Amino acid sequence: MKYRIITIWLFCMMTFSVVAQQYKTVLPYRMVGGKMIVEMIMNGTPRSFIFDTGGRTALTGEICEELGLTVTDSLVVTDVNSNQATYPIVVIESLLTPDGKINFKGVPALQLAQPSPFECFHADGLIGSDLLARTIVEIDGKAKTVTITSAEKASTISLRKMIPFVKAGMPLISLQAGVGNNITCLFDTGCPGFFSLKNTDFEVLKSAAAFNILSEGYGEGSIGVAGMAAADVSYRVRFPLISVGSTKFKNVSSETSTPPFTLLGVRLLDYGKVTLDYPRTRFYFEAYEPENDLESKHYNVALRVKDGELFVSTVWSTMKGIVEVGDKVTKINGKPTGKYDFCESIINGIPELKAKKKTKLTIRTRQGEKVIVYEKE
């Protein structure tokens, strides 16, 4: 598998409008449902892509079919839920930045299964770290821009703000959880939160008392390119302190999950600029503030739309034995639920659940209808 990854990078050529000069392009991005969306010109046509530093470059099966792209190889890939699947590889002839300054040619891309996992985000594919292997990438969350620079010269950012990659090719870095507890994290802009703790790291850090367990839950996992994770036990924890270089984050909440690595997500960009120097394997974080308090509360159940109806998808400790995963929500504050669009619920949430801090849900359970208070705790 490593050999194939290396081969893929070698066959991806990058050209600039003028040779022997450092070049850069600035890509505006917009946030849609927790995903960064950028525009690129693929084979001459403008297309939308999810910008995902934790993923590999990929195209939806629908766009591959539309363009008649030929399969050239295959690759086994592990997604965010640690699900493995074999994907065909197609080649993108040209992936041009909108200003025409940088053109990625002969780009290998995974061909994803249909229906597209990106349908809700109106994206035709995903731009991953493999495409950026020869560049320096600066992500500015305030300006909502991704600046891609050819890497002839190193970044001028102070090395005191630098954390070396643990492994070349991906922004894997070492952070501190509490005092003296190192943890390897993948900076993953495809992760919509701030921090997502891998199950095995949970076990290691639990013995080191690096966090407090807030709640135990049972429910469905997230959706990855290989599908939805199976229902399982998870934990909600709070770290008194996590340090990204010299920047301190207090009261960091996280839920355990099954990614290949613990994830440092896109919400990091709320607190500073990130620069990734892929050729020199350097991660820079320019924090807006040296210390940040992320104290937060979380709902006692999670809900998910399926076939237009609203169901319980995760049950946390205080609701255990009262409702179960798969129970149907029939009323919200005494009013019958309507029909809900799955994509709209992911992008904008359920409107009736935003109106109040505490919401009464009528839920059809195996024991009959029950009324619970849907609230943060």
Do 140 and 263 lie in one domain? The reply is no
Do 47 and 170 lie in one domain? The reply is no
Do 202 and 262 lie in one domain? The reply is yes
Residue 315 C-beta-side C-alpha neighbours within 13 Å: 16
Q: Strand 227-228 relative to strand 223-224: parallel, antiparallel, unpaired?
A: antiparallel
CATH number at residue 261: 2.40.70.10
Q: Taking 70 as the threshold, does the pLDDT of residue 7 lie above it?
A: no
Domain-ending residue, one of 120, 150, 180:
150
d(CA 179, CA 342): 42
Q: Strand 328-332 relative to strand 335-336: parallel, antiparallel, unpaired?
A: antiparallel
Q: What per-residue confidence (pLDDT) applies to 30?
A: 98
Q: What's this model's pTM, rounded to 2 decimal places?
A: 0.91
Q: What per-residue confidence (pLDDT) applies to 258?
A: 87
pLDDT tens digits, residue range 312-329? 999 999 999 999 999 999
Q: Taking 70 as the threshold, does the pLDDT of residue 13 lie above it?
A: no
**275-312 burial: b if 16+ Cβ within 10 Å, else e:** bbbbeebbbbbbbeeeebebeeebebbbbbbeeeebbb
Confidence category of residue 80, pLDDT binned at 50, 70, 90: low
- Which of 169, 197, 168 lies closest to 184 in space, CA to CA? 197
Give me the number of domains the chain comprises.
3
Q: Strand 247-257 relative to strand 291-293: parallel, antiparallel, unpaired?
A: parallel
Q: Taking 60 as the threshold, does the pLDDT of residue 11 lie above it?
A: no
Domain-ending residue, one of 293, 324, 355:
293
Do 117 and 242 lie in one domain? The reply is no
Do 183 and 262 lie in one domain? The reply is yes
Q: What per-residue confidence (pLDDT) applies to 79?
A: 64
Confidence category of residue 20, pLDDT binned at 50, 70, 90: very low
pLDDT tens digits, residue range 106-123? 999 999 999 888 999 999
Do 225 and 245 lie in one domain? The reply is yes
Do 141 and 38 lie in one domain? The reply is yes
> Quick one: three-class SS letters along the chain?
CHHHHHHHHHCCEEEECCCCCCCEEEEECEEECCEEEEEEEECCEEEEEEECCCCCCEECHHHHHHHCCCEEEEEEEECCCCCEEEEEEEEEEEEECCCCCEEEEEEEEEECCCCCCCHHHCCCEEECHHHHCCEEEEEECCCCEEEEEECCCCCCCCHHHEEECCECCCCEEEEEECCCCEEEEEECCCCCCCEEEEHHHHHHHHHCCCCEEEEEEEECCCEECCEECCCEEEEEEEEEEEEECCEEEEEEEEEEECCCCEEECHHHHHCEEEEEECCCCEEEEEECCCEEECCCCCECEEEEEECCEEEEEEEEHHHECCECCCCEEEEECCEECCCCCHHHHHHHCCHHHCCCCCEEEEEEECCEEEEEEECEC
Q: Taking 70 as the threshold, does the pLDDT of residue 82 lie above it?
A: no
Class of residue 174 by CB neighbours under 10 A (exposed 0-12, middle 13-18, buried 19+): middle
When pLDDT is averaged across residues 72-92 and rounded to a whole number, the result is 82
pLDDT tens digits, residue range 32-62? 999 999 999 999 999 999 999 999 999 999 9
When pLDDT is averaged across residues 179-184 and rounded to a whole number, the result is 92
User: Residue 357: which domain range?
Assistant: 301-374
d(CA 17, CA 21): 9
Do 135 and 177 lie in one domain? The reply is no
Instruction: Report whether 363 contacts 330 (CB < 8 A).
Output: yes
Do 214 and 337 lie in one domain? The reply is no
In angstroms, the first-to-last Cα distance of the chain is 44
Do 122 and 176 lie in one domain? The reply is no
- The structure tokens listed for 226 are 């290989």
β partners of residue 372:
361
Do 12 and 145 lie in one domain? The reply is yes
Mean pLDDT (the chain, rounded): 90
Domain-ending residue, one of 293, 325, 358:
293
Do 220 and 285 lie in one domain? The reply is yes
When pLDDT is averaged across residues 94-103 and rounded to a whole number, the result is 95
